[in-house]
Amino acid sequence: MEEIQNKESNYTGSSIQVLEGLEAVRKRPAMYIGDISEKGLHHLVNETVDNSIDEAMAGYCTHIEVTINEDNSITVQDNGRGIPVDEHPKLHKSALEVVMTVLHAGGKFDKGSYKVSGGLHGVGVSCVNALSTHMMSQVFRDGKIYQQEYEKGKPLYDVKVVGETDKRGTRQQFWPDGSIFTTTEYKYDIVARRMRELAFLNAGITITLADLRPDEEGKLRKPETFHASEGLKEFVRYVDRHRTSIIGDPIYLKTEKNGTPIEIALLYNNDYSENIHSYVNNINTIEGGTHLTGFRVALSRSLKKYADEDDQLRKQIEKAKIDIAPDDFREGLTAIISVKVAEPQFEGQTKTKLGNSEVNGAVQQAVGEAMTAYLEEHPKEAHQICEKVILAATARIAARKARENVQRKNPMTGGGLPGKLADCSCRDPKQTEIFLVEGDSAGGSAKQGRDRNTQAILPLRGKILNVEKVQWHKVFESESVNIILQAIGVRFGVDGADTKEANIEKMRYDKIIIMTDADVDGSHIDTLIMTLFFRFMPQVIQDGHLYIATPPLYQCTYKNHKEYCYTEQDRLRFIDMYCDGNADDTKLHTQRYKGLGEMNPEQLWDTTMNPETRLLKQVTIQNAADADEIFSMLMGDDVEPRRIFIEENATYANIDA
């Protein structure tokens, strides 16, 4: 207790170190928060909450309250130490003002204040301030309430005392600048998803989320509380809750190696995909890195050693005549990896790949020790895991034979293209796109209406295989899947290797566009194809290559006015504009497109394919753990969660009229 008090008293203005100024944030906001659309808007919340999480990781904060106010402003309040308010020794102004108005200024740069800290870019709350029309900071510290307000990052007055309190902590409220962001409306689900994730990653902390905006009926959503006393053990159970575990309780470790805190929880289930979600200082490292590499190496090494030394398992492997590959150890695996690194080095396309080499060895050591102990103490579960691995190896070999059989049956497979593909003439992949079109009829219209130079068309007959429900090798026995893989140029098992990782280096198109009917069957086909890419070719999604076309639902005509309407709201707006809301007006004509095949080539081009006028939805992975859970729930064997989901979201479902 005395040590905490000493550290608390040392957290003063001199702890706040200044790196550079704020000038460029408003001029180039995307450089600091990623973009100025919905993603960037929600990043402001994350940056503000990250300050409170830093206090929690340092051991001073237990409760964070996040509120979406009725005017779409955000309030974040914690019970940490409170931002220092004394004079900064270098800038001779309140440390609170320095934190709020100077980029890269904060306690996280002084390792005496925070050993590790969250936040991907380190731009902090000053960036939030710069991108808000108004912001108010209040600090509860030393029995007083300190306050300062800002407009577009500039203080309106010096830090002042506005009252007394027995609380401690920091309260921030900000109003995002509508002249910078394309939207200023916060989505509750996006905020809730991140708060839930932070609660899982920081065991014991309580995060309360309230939304004060009434719905259409004037009702308020009940506040939600996120708390995970068991941390990652609860996280991995949550992610895997629509699957059937084969080992019962998660395998769990929490330790520190070479100064690196490491926490890992994992489960094995009876599915066939690998789902590993890794974090560094609460940041979702979607591209992995040294911590993930260390985990995979140690897991494979531990399981292989156990199987080699167990007489029964060794005989099974010899009888099956298989060699077990590293990928086999991860089939049916769900794992959450969380490490805290004092000086993280990020790399990769999205700067979310950990590069610290020392973390690899630390994780290998921790996982090796934990897995060896678990396997020795749980022989029943150890056998179940290893038998799952043997089945995975058998399926991998069967998948290789399935690919070879396809190539023998179709000599064009090796270097050629499927017969139904209408390819484009341009050979520069950066300039081309392919439409995966539902049905031969729509495919015919698309072939006639397309730009033959840059647009390729691949008609699909019926629904493709649901890859969520089958073993790996079954996917490569599916003609519909192989046609897609051949057309886009994605390869597996290159140069004789049996790896499950897709090779997209020779992908033939920059955009892969799913184009289906605007009805329930079309939506189902969309989901089946997205599942294929998410489970087998996630890099295609991560690199921004997968899209969904948006065909119109209606063509509305009133006298000389003609308009394509993509939603029911668009149709009602047309009626309001030209018919004074009278849907029964006999000069009004509404054509409902039941399918793409009902459009002639010119209509399909104008509405859905023309880059100048079309609306494409890019498929992204904002949160891999949530995406994994959703695909498992929608496409897996467990029916009840899917029924509940459909009932709860029926208002938003794309129901064919």
Active site residues: 438, 517, 519, 521
The neighbour count for residue 192, using CB atoms within 10 Å, is 18
Residue 257, strand partner residues: 260
CA atoms of 153 and 129, how far apart (whole Å): 5
| 314 and 383 Cβ atoms separated by less than 8 Å | no
SS3 647: helix
Q: What is the DSSP string of 122-178?
A: --HHHHHHHTEEEEEEEEEETTEEEEEEEETTEESS--EEEEE-S--EEEEEEEE-T
| 132 and 176 Cβ atoms separated by less than 8 Å | yes
Q: Which amino acid is at 121?
A: H
Q: What are phi and psi of 345, to 5 degrees?
A: -115, 110
| 626 and 585 Cβ atoms separated by less than 8 Å | no
SS3 209: strand
By CB neighbour count within 10 A (0-12 exposed, 13-18 middle, 19+ buried), where does 384 fall? middle
Q: Which two tokens stand for residue 64?
A: 């964070």
Residue 227, strand partner residues: 206
* Alpha-carbon distances, residue 629 vs 18, 21, 195, 238, 275 (angstroms): 41, 41, 16, 8, 10
Residue matched to tokens 């504009």: 577
SS3 25: coil
Q: Which residue blocks in 543-623 are alpha helix, DSSP H?
A: 568-579, 601-604
The neighbour count for residue 189, using CB atoms within 10 Å, is 8
Question: What strands lie across the sheet with 333-339, from one edge to the other?
Answer: 251-257, 260-268, 333-339, 275-280, 283-284
